Amino acid sequence: MENCLFCKIIKGEIPSAKVYEDEDMLIFKDIAPQAPIHLLLVPKKHYANVIEMSEEDAYVLARCIKKLSTMTEELGLSEGFRLVSNKGANGCQSVDHLHIHILGGEKLSDKMA
């Protein structure tokens, strides 16, 4: 997608603080962290959100999350973490390329909204 910020980051056209990359996904630091550790897991294939996600996309995303579960120690998340994916205006989604926020590094609020 030509004007998609995260597609540009995936292509290396915009710099990011990359922490992991494979054929399915990129994980990089959120530019405005809301927790001591705030990463974004971004599938390389562009689709805007979970509603636009195909069944094949869902399998890829599940593989990405499973892969993430094997990297918790090196990412500093061994004490736990929270995964969040915002969708649409009420969800406060600001980038229309599906992404999963990975939050951790301290005990997070027990309130989610």
Q: Residue 92 or 112: which CB sits closer to ligand AMP?
A: 92
DSSP symbols for 8-67: HHHHTSS---EEEE-SSEEEEE-SS-SSSEEEEEEESS---STTT--HHHHHHHHHHHHH
Contact residues: ligand AMP, CB under 6 A = 5, 14, 16, 30-32, 40, 86, 92-95
99 catalytic per annotation: yes
Is the CB of 70 or the CB of 96 nearer to ligand AMP?
96
Pick the catalytic residue: 38, 46, 97, 99?
Answer: 99
Catalytically active residues are: 99
